[in-house]
Structure 1
């Protein structure tokens, strides 16, 4: 319980804006002294996740791992998790429960490493954030935050602060050592905090934090511009690669397109434009388009035939 108390008393700033920008950095402290003798190939998979509301949970302690979280935890792969987020952004029925996919690699390729998500826009309709990264190599261990609110109980946005994070066991694969070749856990068990590690026959207590995630408040945003961005359209969609993004209202800065693996496959500046014509040479499939301005991010699904 004392670990949870670290999250409760945070500075706040009372503002009326519907969204703010944060820079989000994961800084690891994964080390042999607290987490067992480390493998020579110790590293982290991409730092991935989403901003969302309280109508969806992507993972939580005591819950069962989704296929997406299982793939992140076991293999460091993001395809299924990306699809889960994309379905929440673009539901077939009902309202969106998430509004953007987040992904960034770590550097260096090592146990002590960091990853920074630059200028993450958080809207008041989607004030929660879930993040995950694989502790690699391992059976099914990962770290991150689940449904963490960037708002205080009084409705104000949290100012710059850090959150300690730990190693979690996804409950999908057996094993106590830092290795990838392990039998599946059958049936799956609930996600839990990992507190014992085995390497070269030696058990080590591992209940210390494995890193910190720092949320740096960058800016307060213009409400009117953000609402104007919601009118963006993509047509034709589906398309053979030739399509037009309209109603940018000269307030968007850039657009990024991600494939179903969560990999960014296209990026370009769209500053001071009302519309932009795209000639995309991409494989057939479903893509996620993130349209960014100083005041927010709008996501749209794009289908390439």
Structure 2
């Protein structure tokens, strides 16, 4: 009897599932299961790709700890053409993430817009890599991250709201080339500029080879249409049995006899100062003499950049301070 009742209930449930309306039922953007990813961040900030003012010491070129957040569309870690939050400002200027952590915890508790907060350790050179494992949930299928450029006034690389689902399934792999951004909170032009707050605060902007359009800008390369990528992010979906091991850092050196990786070479033209004033004429009255003016080199050329122009000029002259 119990077996007959069970069979009858099974048939009723099956019939209901076939005839029940689907209208109004929640539709998940991705698979109903969470997905695990390997996140690999690779710094490509080399002196050949970015020869202008490349930081060699105090401190040398390096990367801060990576900050990543999985979230839904009700939250944004940072956004282009928007003002940076106090936490983003602190992180972009100093690399500290205490305020940013508080902001994400507050959003998680009040709006339930954040699923997880992740952090990868710093890279002590411009070239190197770090990897972490992260979990993404169907209700929080977006990923945002930041890595501060060290040293810099308030510059960073990152991406805002990467969509990890495609149709109704998780993406298997994603690779992004990364370029510099200005947080809009510090007005320095060079990697080693002193702290000079931007008042009022500007919006977050993308730094390009022509913007800011100023010769002192460390990323100003007028001969380039686009900057080479400073870094690369790779996300790979993991099988359930896979794990992620943090690889050893690739330090910024070239082994004897070969190169571990070929980086693009950016031509850097020579940059010189303006001319000095002409010197006084170096002869007595009624005699032809010469006067000189000079200029000095701001930036030496590299990677087949334009050579320096002449640094000294002479002209014939007759003294004008004569008395008859």
Q: CA deviation at 1:156?
A: 2.0
Structure 2 unaligned residues grouped into runs of 5+:
1-28, 242-324
Q: Does 1:114 align with 2:129?
A: yes
| Superposition TM-score, scaled by structure 1 size | 0.61
Q: Which residue of 2 aligns with 1:217?
A: 237
Determine the structure 2 residue equivalent to 1:175: 188
Q: Is the CA contact (8 Å cut-off) linking 1:140 and 1:169 kept in structure 2?
A: yes
Partner of 1:296: none
Question: Within the alignment, does 1:157 sit opposite 2:170 as a pair?
Answer: yes
Distance 1:183 1:114, change over 3 A: same
Q: Does 1:53 align with 2:69?
A: no
Structure-2-length-normalised TM-score = 0.58
Q: 1:68 to 1:16 in 2, by over 3 A?
A: same
Matched residue of 1:90: which SS? helix
Q: Residue 31 of structure 2 contacts residue 170 of structure 2 at CA under 8 Å; is this kept in 1?
A: no
In 2, the alpha carbon distance for the partners of 1:166 and 1:20 equals 27
What RMSD, in angstroms, separates the aligned Cα atoms of the two structures? 2.4
Greater Rg over alpha carbons, structure? 2
CA distance in 1: counterparts of 2:219 and 2:235, whole angstroms: 34
1:249 is matched with which residue?
A: none
Work out the CA distance in 1 between the residues paired with 2:191 and 2:136: 35
1:42 shift after superposition: 0.9
> Within 5 A, what are the aligned runs for 1:24-173?
24-35=39-50, 36-40=52-56, 41-91=60-110, 95-107=111-123, 109-118=124-133, 120-152=134-166, 154-173=167-186
Cα 1:61/1:15, change in 2 over 3 Å = closer
Aligned partners of 2:147, 2:91: CA distance in 1, in Å?
7
Unaligned segments of structure 1, at least 5 residues: 1-13, 222-305
Retained in 2: the 8 A contact 1:127–1:150? yes
Distance 1:26 1:201, change over 3 A: closer
Is 1:16 the counterpart of 2:31 in the alignment?
A: yes
Alignment length (residue pairs): 202
Deviations 1:193-229 (A, max 9, x none): 11258898876327222111000110369xxxxxxxx
> SS state of the match for residue 191, structure 2?
coil
Structure 1 equivalent of residue 208 of structure 2: 195
Q: Which has the higher strand share?
A: 1
User: For residues 15 and 175 of structure 1, do their structure 2 counterparts lie closer, same or farther at Cα, with a shift above 3 Å needed?
Assistant: closer
